[in-house]
Structure 1
Amino acid sequence: MMFETSRRRSALLCHSWQFKLCFVWGGELVSTLTSSILQMGLIWHLALTTGSSSLLSLASLAGFLPIALFGILAGALVDRLPLKRVLIGTDLFIAAVGAALTIASLAGSLPAWLILIALFLRAVGTSFYTPASQSLTPHLAPPEHLVRLSGVTQAIQSGGYILGAALAAVIYPVAGITAMIVLDVLGALFASLAVLAAQIDAGGLDEADRSLPFSNKVRELFSEISDGYKLTRGHRGLLALLWCGFVFAFAFSPLAALFPIMTL
């Protein structure tokens, strides 16, 4: 009797939203940490091997441009796909880019052009992973917990980036860029397994929307983007804040790209 009660409680826990979020957040923390380590590692590798400020600026552009190009469409596309597939697919895509870099680094030195392509492709995956990760919590958690959980999500992402940048400075001179790439691949695979273990069933279109012709789906996609912009424009403070963030990122990115050269 006690065993049966314990088994039922375990089954309920496995299907609770807290359990699912803990699994996904754990995988995301590891993935963000290893991704940040490699991101900083690649930048430092370019700075140390080339000493070129132009290449560092191109690396910054390669990491930022996909988010600017696909950011408008990514959120609307993610809303129309199962979140589990998006999260696992983007993680595996980023892992595949890392695996290709690993093979290239084992074969010889990493050329700068290959690093730029890898940074661009990783940013493409991130531009779809980020909105999927951000939209997961509202799908799973009750509305009264969303504000608090949003702070937890931001803390996980910020903590992973800050700690990853610090660890990159320690790992690069000790183990080299190849070890950092392998670490990133393992982190992406771990995050994919965490999403699988969470058994997420959220997002995607219903049966009626899936049966629509392709042209209607495209029309609805851009209609949703337009509605989202109109909704944002209706809140003047929010729209002004977004424009301030855009201007700051546009003005600060060229300077941030030169930090490794300045530090050296």
Structure 2
Amino acid sequence: MSNNDNEWKRKIILFLTAQTISLFGSSLVQYAIIWHITLTTTSGVMMTISTVCGFLPQIVISLFAGVWIDRYNRKKMIMLADGMIASVTLIMAVLFLTGYQSIWLLFILLLIRSAGTGIQIPAYNAVIPQIVPKDKLMKVNGVNSSISSLMMFLSPAASGAILSITTIEATFFIDVITAVIGISIMLTIAVPSHANMTSRHKSNLLDIKQGFVYLKDHTLLKRLLLFLFVIMILISPAAFLTPLMVSRSFGGEVWRLTASEMTFSAGAIAGGIVIATWGGFRNRMHTTILACAFYGLLMVGLGVAPEFVMYLLFNFLIGITMPCFNAPITVLLQEKVESSMHGRIFSLVQVSNSCALPLGMVLFGPLGDIVRVESILIFAGIMVVACALYALFSKRFIAE
């Protein structure tokens, strides 16, 4: 093994380790906040406000974040976002310990954490191709997907266990500690500067406009972003309405809802391993389109499942398709987009996803009180398959 092989592997192992530790602490706090608001208010309005606080700042900040990520040192941007989130979380922990425990303080915390995430995630995706050779991007993104899914799998149980034996303030401090560890590891990683860094004296709005112009001039990227937006809207019932379906059709026991969440996360872990090992087809879009078609068929499966065990099986298989859908797109963007534009393009993807899922819930959520969720899943699943077939046979989304 050459020194170059050893060097990039050392860097990516340290990078993924740092981000995994930080992500785990953040996930613990995210679940702790949601459960604390749920248990102390039992209010649908409060839960709606908390959801808005979790999405809206990401949409607003991501456009500017893309410019900053392309303009400044990306490693430092990740550390800055992580440090900002940890600092505000520490302040919130102190306020709660001193008796200031208003729910509105948690909304402020959610707003700031969401803004930090809007910076951290695009920067994270932009740093990986600076460290990893192009022919290893699929493997690394697959491993990264499995790690993220594992955190999703473990975080709810870990957060619940912590809250059952201690207070929410303790969870806040855990997040601060994991952030400090993650930032400390990041300090040891040398990340090369990306080429053609934008002049720091340019207007933010001008750089944002350049990002849209770049997207407009690259037809494949424009179509891909539209494809993602439509698919995210269509899969929103599977993401948000399945707990409602489970409670209505199979029973409202907590263990059923827990099993539903855990089977999806377990499937996503397996899917990350599959795509990391297999690597997908040579054409990235073929892998994404195939995963998209399977996702649609499995949504139909969720809608027609006669027994809860069958539902869990389909849910597990849907989890497998997610990394096989997402990882090739991420790699395609990392490969095809110029390094100097990675931040802005990944930020536009972040904005698209952050808008699509809530929009999907606006469309399908109220419908769930009029018709059976199963019918919504079947309809949306068929539409997902139709979109996959269109993308395949139209040739407009195929990138060599």
Instruction: Tell me which interval the TM-score lies in, with the shorter structure as reference length.
Output: 0.7 to 0.9
Measure how far apart 1:232 and its partner are: 5.8
Counterpart contact for 1:80–1:204, Cα < 8 Å? no
**Deviates further, 93-102 or 230-239:** 230-239
Match of 2:213 in 1: 226
Counterpart contact for 1:105–1:178, Cα < 8 Å? yes
Counterpart contact for 1:73–1:225, Cα < 8 Å? no
TM-score by length of 2: 0.55
Q: Structure 2 matches for 1:139-178, cutoff 5 A? A: 139-178=130-169
Counterpart contact for 1:37–1:165, Cα < 8 Å? yes
Query: Secondary structure in 2 aligned to 1:118?
Result: helix
Note if 1:17 corresponds to 2:18.
Answer: no
Rounded Cα–Cα distance in structure 2 between residues aligned with 1:175 and 1:144: 46
Tell me the amino acid that sits aligned with residue 104 of structure 2.
W
Match of 2:186 in 1: 195
Note if 1:240 corresponds to 2:231.
Answer: no
How many residue pairs were aligned? 241
The equivalent position to 1:210 in structure 2, one of 199, 206, 209, is: 199
Counterpart contact for 1:14–1:20, Cα < 8 Å? no
Kindly provide the CA deviation profile for residues 53-111 of structure 1, in whole angstroms up to 9, marking residues without a partner as x.
11111001101111122223322331221012101101100111111111111101521
Tell me the amino acid that sits aligned with residue 70 of structure 2.
D
Tell me the amino acid that sits aligned with residue 213 of structure 2.
S
**Deviates further, 83-92 or 197-206:** 197-206
Match of 1:126 in 2: 117
Tell me the amino acid that sits aligned with residue 77 of structure 1.
W
Tell me the amino acid that sits aligned with residue 105 of structure 2.
L
Counterpart contact for 2:216–2:222, Cα < 8 Å? no
Measure how far apart 1:36 and its partner are: 0.6
Residues 237/219 of structure 1: CA separation in 2 closer, same or farther (3 Å cut): closer
**Deviates further, 43-52 or 246-255:** 246-255
Note if 1:108 corresponds to 2:99.
Answer: yes
Note if 1:32 corresponds to 2:20.
Answer: no
Counterpart contact for 2:75–2:127, Cα < 8 Å? no
**Deviates further, 120-129 or 133-142:** 133-142
Match of 2:251 in 1: none
Counterpart contact for 1:83–1:201, Cα < 8 Å? no
Measure how far apart 1:238 and its partner are: 5.1
Measure how far apart 1:162 and its partner are: 2.5
Residues 240/210 of structure 1: CA separation in 2 closer, same or farther (3 Å cut): closer
Measure how far apart 1:199 and its partner are: 2.4
Measure how far apart 1:194 and its partner are: 1.2
Query: Secondary structure in 1 aligned to 2:194?
Result: coil
Structure number with the bigger relative contact order (C-alpha 8 A, sep ≥ 6) is 1
Q: Percent identity?
A: 24
The equivalent position to 1:89 in structure 2, one of 73, 80, 86, is: 80
Match of 1:56 in 2: 47
Measure how far apart 1:50 and its partner are: 1.4
TM-score by length of 1: 0.82
Kindly provide the CA deviation profile for residues 39-60 of structure 1, in whole angstroms up to 9, marking residues without a partner as x.
0001111111111111111001
Residues 61/91 of structure 1: CA separation in 2 closer, same or farther (3 Å cut): same
Residues 134/166 of structure 1: CA separation in 2 closer, same or farther (3 Å cut): same
Measure how far apart 1:115 and its partner are: 0.2
Rounded Cα–Cα distance in structure 1 between residues aligned with 2:160 and 2:72: 38
Q: Which sections of structure 1, spanning at least 5 residues, go unmatched?
A: 1-8, 256-264
Counterpart contact for 1:74–1:128, Cα < 8 Å? yes
Measure how far apart 1:15 and its partner are: 7.8
Measure how far apart 1:235 and its partner are: 5.9
Kindly provide the CA deviation profile for residues 8-30 of structure 1, in whole angstroms up to 9, marking residues without a partner as x.
x9xx5898111111111101111
